[in-house]
Amino acid sequence: MGSLRNPVGPLPSSIYWRRRAILVSVVVLAALLITWAVTAGGDAGGGEGAAGSDADARIPVPSITPGPSSSGPAISRAPGGRDEPDDEDAGDEEPAGRGSGSADPEESDATASDAPVVVGSDDVLPAGSGLEACAASAVEWRLRGTRETYPTDATPTLELTVRNTSDADCAIDLGPERVVLTITPEDDQDAYWSSGHCPEDPGSLAYRVPAGTAVTHTLRWDRGASAPKCGTPPAGKAGPGRYLAEAESPGLPAVRASFTLTDE
């Protein structure tokens, strides 16, 4: 213990104390370096963790948009880019088979009235019905063949359609005393057959024509000939060729239609 307090040696004691001080300084410095190294390593790891935490804090968390709920479709547009109609508009659409677009009531009425009602013997008005006759100014009529060409086994059939353009029902007489139908070969001026030559039933054939609508009276020709004043007609039947049919009635313009008879 004495040698630690009082250095023993050939050199002065101050030199030994100086050496001791340097040694102690070196040991202390080494301890400090070791302590700093350990502390710096821990701080570096902690700094990286902090840096990582800061970096994570700066990076925004991606948001997740929820998908469509079960209450609505995932696709809001139909294939091809055409929008599907809303539920409120879907009820306004016409059902399939009734046409495209919205139907106008006036157009629907006009279309319905364009389809004439076919009348026959069961629809003839009784005598003294009291229904006023249609005024000529309120009558539009036409004549047409049911076919363009009639082979030998087909009966030429004509339709006489009468439209009432007034706003009140009226009666139209299509009997042979009021309406005369003639059939003439295209290359001849004389009628081959006429309902006015010798009418079998010269009585009235009056039909009710409702306001704004039309009726159609059907006429059939057996291809036979006729002669004026119930004379004897030529024998045989009309041959192949083009024929002109014409209907006339007092106060109304004549209406015409043509058709062809074939030998097939």
User: pLDDT digits over 9-59, tens only?
Assistant: 666 667 766 777 888 888 888 888 888 777 776 555 554 444 444 444 444
Q: Which has the higher per-residue pLDDT, 87 or 256? A: 256
Give SS3 for 230: helix
In the chain, which ranges are continuous DSSP H helix?
Answer: 2-5, 13-58, 87-90, 105-114
Mean pLDDT of the chain: 75
pLDDT of residue 153: 93
Q: How far apart are CA 217 and CA 142, in angstroms?
A: 11
pLDDT value at 91 more than 60: no
- All residues at 6 or more sequence positions from 247 whose CB lies less than 8 Å from its CB, including other chains: 141, 143, 160, 179, 180, 181, 254, 255, 256
Q: Is the pLDDT of residue 85 over 90?
A: no
pTM above 0.85, yes or no: no
- Whether 113 shows a pLDDT value over 70: the answer reads no
Cα–Cα distance measured from residue 116 to residue 161, given in angstroms and rounded to the nearest whole number: 7
Given this model, what pLDDT does residue 63 score? 41
- Reported as a single tens digit per residue, the pLDDT across 169-201 is 999 999 888 999 999 999 988 999 999 898 877
Residue 95 pLDDT: 34
pLDDT at residue 129 is higher than 80: yes
Q: What is the pLDDT of residue 177?
A: 86
Rounded alpha-carbon distances, angstroms, from residue 107 to 21, 86, 189, 212: 123, 27, 43, 13
Assess contact for 147 and 210: CB atoms under 8 A. no
Q: Please state the rounded mean pLDDT for residues 219-231.
A: 94
pLDDT above 60: residue 257? yes
pLDDT at 96: 33
